[in-house]
Amino acid sequence: MKPPSENHDLIRWLDGEMTDAERAAFEGEMKADPALAKEAEEMRSLSASLRTHLPAEMKVPHADFFNSQIQMRIAQLEMEDSRQKPESSLESIFALFRQPWLAAASAVAVVVAGFLMIGPGGTDSEHSLILSSYTPGRGVEASTYHDSAADATVLMLDGLDEVPADRKISGISVHRSETEPEVAATTLFDAAGAPLLVISRDAAGHPLFLRNHPRG
């Protein structure tokens, strides 16, 4: 029997890496060498055990959180990339709203929409632009348009059951935003610098919206 450090034939035989001729020659060698045959059988038994007990697929702990955290981290990276580009910082913030996964995972009861004030501040041309909207209820579709006469952005909800008269629906006007990548939270501020909305995630990785109550 060859010294163990040089016996690649044994390994190649075990792993089926030999040609037919090589295999026949090696098996002939094993017949003449009981120690080699015993060694080969032990290694074959070990290989069988390894294949049985080392699964190629395993259950991922907290699998849903695994997926949602990947999505959150990708969103963060893309936001950071966007910030490095010469585009509006608000544009990058609203990339979050455009992520379908975020919308799908959200359990908020009302439509979430992003409003961006465009145009020079205080001019007549200033109005809200809806960058993205989301309806958690299936069958409900959101659309928006700017009504010049009313100087308002109108949010249309098709397919929604009648809204109770005591239900208040309001939008938010975002002036600027700040992102804390380490805690995966983005805070939106109004023109007076007051926080309007904090976008983050809960312990289970689900999107979390913390709304500041309007003053006055």
Q: In the complex, which residues of this chain contact another protein (CB under 8 A)?
A: 4-5, 7-8, 10-12, 15, 17, 41-43, 45-47, 49-63, 66-67, 69-71, 73-74, 77, 99-101, 104
Could you tell me the smallest distance in angstroms from the CB atom of residue 207 to another protein?
A: 13
Query: In this structure, what token pair is assigned to residue 99?
Result: 């992520």
Closest contact distance (angstroms) between CB of 51 and another protein is: 6
Residue 130 Cβ vs another protein, minimum distance, rounded to whole Å? 19
Min. distance of Cβ 57 from another protein in angstroms? 4
Nearer to another protein, 100 or 214 (CB): 100
CB of 111 to another protein, least distance (A): 20
Shorter beta-carbon distance to another protein: residue 36 or 155: 36
Nearer to another protein, 72 or 197 (CB): 72
Nearer to another protein, 55 or 86 (CB): 55
Residue closer to another protein (CB basis): 54 or 149: 54
